[in-house]
Every structure is written in C-alpha cells, then in structure tokens.
Structure 1
Amino acid sequence: MNTKVALVTGASSGIGEATALKLKALGYTVYAAARRVDRMRALAGAGINILAMDVTDDASMQAGVQEIIDKSGGIDVLINNAGYGSYGAVEDVPLDEARAQFEVNVFGGVRLIQLALPHMRKRRSGTIVNITSMGGKIHTPLGAWYHGTKFALEAISDCLRLEVQPLGIHVVVIEPGGINTEWAGIAAEKLRETSSEGAYAGQANAVVKAMVSEANRKRMSPPDLIADTIGKALSARRPKTRYAVGFGAKPMIFLRRLLSDRAFDSFIRMAMGIPRKGV
C-alpha cells in the first residue's frame, strides 16, 4: 500500500492518456477513466487500471471512486482532465448545450473532488490537479461557454485551495495553451453546427479556419508536455498553484494582463483573422 494511487479522467486520448502513462512510469497505481473504454486498450496493456466513467452521471462517478477505494484503499491524486470545447455565438448556442458544457467541464470534476476529499482528509494528504486552460484567463470570440467553464474552474480551484490547505491537501491548476489533441476539431465542428450561418457566419468561418489550419496544428505542443508538467508538480514538495504550459499559454496570459480590454479584443480579432465590422 506504499504505492500512491491516481485517478485520471478523460483518459481515452490526448492529455489524459499521456498523463496516465506518465504517472504509471513514475510508479503510481493509475486508474484511467473515460466513457469509451474501447479507446483505452493500450493503457490496459501498459498495466493501467481502466474505469468506465461518465462525469455527467453521479452514479457512475460514485461507483468508480468506490471501486478504487475497494481495490487500492484510497486516492492520493485526482487529475480532473475530462472536458471538451463547445464554440458558438452566445445568441446561437442552445442552453441545453451550454449546460452540458458546464456539466462536463465543471460539475463533473467538482463532484469527483467531493467524492475524493473524504479519503484524502483521513490521510491528511493528497493532490487535486484541475486542468483548466489559458482560456481560463483570456477570452476569444464565439467561445463564451467554453471560457466560462474554464474561468469557473479557476475560481473554484482558488477557493478550494484555501479550504483544504490546512488539511494537508494540495490544489494545482494546469493551464494548457495550444495542445495537439482532438480538442480543436471538436470545437470547430460545434462552431460549424451553431454559427456557420446567420449573423455570426463571418466570424465563425474565420475562427474555424484558424482552429483547423495546418499551420496552427504544427504550432501545437504535444500532450506529453502537459503530462510531464503534472509529473513535475506531483514530485514537488510544495507544488506551484499554477502551471501555464504549451503553445501560447504564457505569452497570451501575459498579454491579457498587459493590454486593456479593448486592446486585447483588437489583438484577438487580428490574430484570428476576424474583421472589426461586418460578417
């Protein structure tokens, strides 16, 4: 029971998959969770425990955490990575889709925190790692609901850190920049579905083009960079509260602090090829 136990959500691809493999290499007993277990066969082959878990289903999360407790006695590390990007104009996005975005990106992770904390408190140790985004510090057009979830998770993480620090529990925020995963393709497809026609078509088409361009893909950082950063944070005696890593993360967050609201708006429009007026 000396081996530390980690739960990684959204582990079927991208950052979650890379993180599960990294923590396994560091000697953790790893539980990789996702809805589609068929996509985690390679992780199972690497000796990682596979969990079918839907972060929008409370019973699924309770069952998954209980399975870890029954098999391994506790949870030392929770990596809240499950999430997706849903883009579209505020006027166009159905509220059901907006709620779904918050269910996956915010409430699912918070519920797992609630389930894991009693076990961490008993040991007076543990680390909660919330994967937010540089999008939790900046804003882009047509991404209001996605950015809203990431801003929310940033705030929740800060409040949580104050609450659990006296109990010996760390809270770490990882703020990825551009990472070469399925995220951009999914966000672009959502944007096409909601706003590729009508009043916001010009903006939407420009943003889609920027998201899926080959030049943009080549600039993206590999998921392993985030996994290595998580490994670094978990290995530190006193981890940082935040790690901004990946393409564009540090400079974009710096620019947001440096520029006025309107100056940053202009910069983002220019960077994404969006005209100031018209569609």
Structure 2
Amino acid sequence: MTDAQVSEKPATSTLASAPVALVSGASSGIGFQVAKQLSEKGFIVYGAARHFAELSEDSATTVGKGGFHEVHLDVTDEDECKKVVDYIVEHTGRIDVLVNNAGFAVFGAIETVSSKEAKRQFDTNVFGLANMTRTVLPHMRENRHGHIVMISSVAGRLPGYFGGWYHASKWAVEALSATLRSEVKPYGIAVTVVEPGAVATPWASIATDSLMEVSKGTAYEQTARRVAATMLDFYENAPISTPEQVGGRIVSMMTRKNPPRRFVVARGARMMLAAHALLPAAAFEAIERMNLTRREG
C-alpha cells in the first residue's frame, strides 16, 4: 500500500490512544456516515471504497481531514485487502473496528439474472466481506480485542420479490456472522449484524435499473415495470430514514460497552420483521406481491 493511495498519513502522536476503524463502502450513504461520525468521536478512520470521485461537497471536505483517511480498495481483490490492512497496521499498530459495508443490489427474477451477475453479487456482498474479515482477524486475535460490524439488511431475514439474489447474499451474511461470532468470541472479538430497512440512498435506483435491464423481453417484464415504479415511488415519497440518521444510530451502538449481536435500524424495519414472524408465509408473500405491484410501470 503506497502513501499515494491514502489521503494522508495520521500523526504519530495520536496513534497510541485513538481507536482505529476500517470501513468499507465508505464513499457515500451509510458507510460514509459511519466513517465520518466515528472520526468525529475521535477514531482514526480509514474509509475504503473503489471510487471516491462521486463524493458530495460535504463528503469531499471530510475525507482526508482530521481522523478520516481515504483508501481506494476493491474488496473482491484479496491481495488488495491484505495490502490495505497491512498498511493500516504498519501506521497505527492495530485495527479495533471493521465495518463491512461494501455491497450493492442485483434485482430481477431468479430465472432472468445470469449466473455471471449472481456471482458478481456474491463476490462483493459475501466474499468481499469474507476477504476483509479474514485479513483483519489475525491482528484482532493478536490484540485479543476487536469489533466486526456486518452491514446486512432486513433482506437477510425476509424473502424478496424479484430480489432473490440480493436477499440470498444477505441471508449468507447472516449465517456467516452467526458462525463467526462463536468462533472469535474466545479471542475477545465481538460480531454485530446490522439490519437496516429502507434508507434514502441511491440503492433503489440501482436495484430498479438492474431489474428493468434483466427483465426486458421476458415473461416478467410487465410485472417488473410495476415493481420498479412502486419501489421508486416509495423511496422518493415515503418518510424513510436518512443515511445520517442510520449512521448515527450505528455509531452509537458501536460505542456501547457491550454491543449487541443484532441491531435493527431505520423506520419500519422492525415492523416488517414482526409481520414476517407473525403472518403465515403465504399471507406475507401475497401482501408483498400486492404492495410491490400496485403501481403501473
């Protein structure tokens, strides 16, 4: 890892006392807010992402200043993950917190999403997360201290109409996290799964673009148009949580003495999970289909 790939080198005088956090997917949305707000609480933060060119003006003034350092990283590249982690440990002596936030959504019927796209989904959402975790763990074990935060989704506990591959990737995150928690607890390492509901980010537009692209000319195209229209309308008009609000709640959770195993966040998330738990599966699926296809595409 070269100095040119990190925005600035932290001052040596602060290394001994300040906790160190590595946050993936930190160029925007929840990841950026978690990184920003951790740095405001005195953490030395390395915010990692593949691209920082699309930073907002507010984000651009934060990255590289104070305790927030920009790191260019593709989590699907295991060698690159190791170089970044080695660089951070070399310059700070440790990594106290890893926030696995990098991820995206491929939407479309199971039948219409290609194996290539499904693999790309898992490469980032699951194997990228595993690359980061696998690389950081030896340093946390050596220090017998650490907190790994997995940004999953309520999608990790719910079925997803036309979102099967995305939901499957988040179910995998849930299973990996539960197993990892048991494996690393003897070394003083905590694992928390964060399950956001709907958040005001570009997620919906990316997901619906994917949905429409893979549905063209298929038996699902008409229904896909209605689902896309409903999703976009909801994200544009419903009173959903902002990344700043969700990031703030996640940071507050992370700074507790005993962080929870699971943390549900964002408006409506608990209600969705409760409905899924209480309703018969057929009823929940019927309501989901009805809600997602109520608008004309």
Structure 1 and Structure 2 fold alike (TM over 0.5): yes
Q: Deviations over 1:133-170 (max 9, x none)?
A: 01001112110100000000001000011111111110
CA distance in 1, matches of 2:176, 2:286: 29
Work out whether residues 199 and 240 of structure 2, in 8 Å CA contact, stay in contact via their aligned partners in 1.
yes
Relative to the length of structure 2, the TM-score reads 0.89
Work out whether residues 192 and 259 of structure 2, in 8 Å CA contact, stay in contact via their aligned partners in 1.
yes
Are positions 1:120 and 2:135 aligned together? no
1:52 corresponding residue in structure 2: 72
Q: Deviations over 1:215-234 (max 9, x none)?
A: 64442210122212221222
State the 1:214 CA deviation. 6.0
Work out whether residues 127 and 171 of structure 1, in 8 Å CA contact, stay in contact via their aligned partners in 2.
yes
State the 1:264 CA deviation. 0.7
Work out whether residues 198 and 235 of structure 2, in 8 Å CA contact, stay in contact via their aligned partners in 1.
no
| Partner residue of 1:35 out of 27, 30, 50 | 50
State the 1:37 CA deviation. 2.9
Are positions 1:159 and 2:159 aligned together? no
Q: Percent identity?
A: 40
2:7 corresponding residue in structure 1: none
Query: Which residue identity is paired with 1:95?
Result: S
Work out whether residues 17 and 43 of structure 1, in 8 Å CA contact, stay in contact via their aligned partners in 2.
no
- Cα distance 1:217–1:51, how it changes in 2: closer, same or farther (>3 A)? farther
Work out whether residues 7 and 77 of structure 1, in 8 Å CA contact, stay in contact via their aligned partners in 2.
yes
Unaligned stretches of 5+ in structure 1? none
Query: Which residue identity is paired with 1:30?
Result: V
1:4 corresponding residue in structure 2: 19
Are positions 1:24 and 2:68 aligned together? no
SS at match of 2:205: helix
SS at match of 2:80: helix
Work out whether residues 27 and 52 of structure 2, in 8 Å CA contact, stay in contact via their aligned partners in 1.
yes
Q: How does 1:54-73 map to 2 (within 5 A)?
A: 54-73=74-93
Work out whether residues 152 and 174 of structure 2, in 8 Å CA contact, stay in contact via their aligned partners in 1.
yes
CA distance in 1, matches of 2:269, 2:234: 19
Are positions 1:262 and 2:277 aligned together? no
CA distance in 1, matches of 2:78, 2:132: 9
State the 4+ residue runs in structure 1 displaced beyond 6 angstroms: none
Query: Which residue identity is paired with 1:42?
Result: T
State the 1:237 CA deviation. 1.2
Question: Number of residue pairs matched?
Answer: 276
SS at match of 2:161: coil
| Greater Cα offset, 186-195 or 223-232 | 223-232
Relative to the length of structure 1, the TM-score reads 0.95
Query: Which residue identity is paired with 2:62?
Result: L
Work out whether residues 46 and 70 of structure 2, in 8 Å CA contact, stay in contact via their aligned partners in 1.
yes
CA distance in 2, matches of 1:111, 1:198: 36
Query: Which residue identity is paired with 1:37?
Result: F
